[in-house]
Structure 1
Amino acid sequence: MTGTAYQQGTHVCVISHEGQTLFSQKGKLLGFSSEVVSILKGNALFICDHQGNTLSTHHYTESQPAKANSSKSLLFYLLFGCLDKIGDAYRLYQFLGRGNAIGTDGGDLNWKNIGICFLSIFFWIACFFAASKMGIVE
């Protein structure tokens, strides 16, 4: 009989009431009782007994409601908008500070522009990392 079952990394471990390991299988633990353990492997649900023998399998689809625009998405778009406006403001300041008309600077490249380019790349990497941690990008 099953005492407990728990997720350990990518494996499901099943323990008896006496504390002995009954079996361990790769998969995601969905639930257990004293008689059976439910393990998800891909999109197949395996119902196993306390010895790890498969009693039945079922097709599993996780039904989740469609996500509406959440505050996380709003935050991501605000970050995008801020970067866009900062870049526009910098370019306008750069052109006005030189006394050149907008678009007539000749496109020269200097260390300041290279630094700003790298900072924007690092900013987008950080935004993508933050978005993936918040669950916006999968």
Structure 2
Amino acid sequence: MRKRSWGFVAVGLLVALVLAGVVSNYASSHPDGLDSSLLRGCTVNADDEITGGSCPAQQARDHELADSPLADYGIRGVDNGFLSTGLSGVVGVLLTFAVGGGVFWLLRRRGPADAPGTGPSPADGRHAGDRQSAGTAG
């Protein structure tokens, strides 16, 4: 990767880390559109617990990973809510960056030179992309 590309990636990663680590703490705690629509027909208290009525949200169950270390936008064991949310965002960004970077690295390693029909030519032993100087020794 060219030096300019590395700088672009580094700045993008830094912006994502700041957004995930700091700005994510200021996201709205009110339910989004899906949550709100699932609560229609129910009565909820100040803690968003269903106290009566009938709505689809009453059928909700915990996810299988609800006890995982990064569940509920925080890190289990970190008592400071601001720090817990920020750290979970940073960990999420780093994991996503690592997986995405690994996939792109693997795809880059399998570039056009590895594609069928572009390997060494039986006539001169060079790759198809090296033919600009086919008439000269070198």
TM-score (normalizing by structure 1): 0.28
Larger gyration radius, structure 1 or structure 2? 1
Q: Which has a greater percent of strand?
A: 1
Q: Which has a greater percent of helix?
A: 2
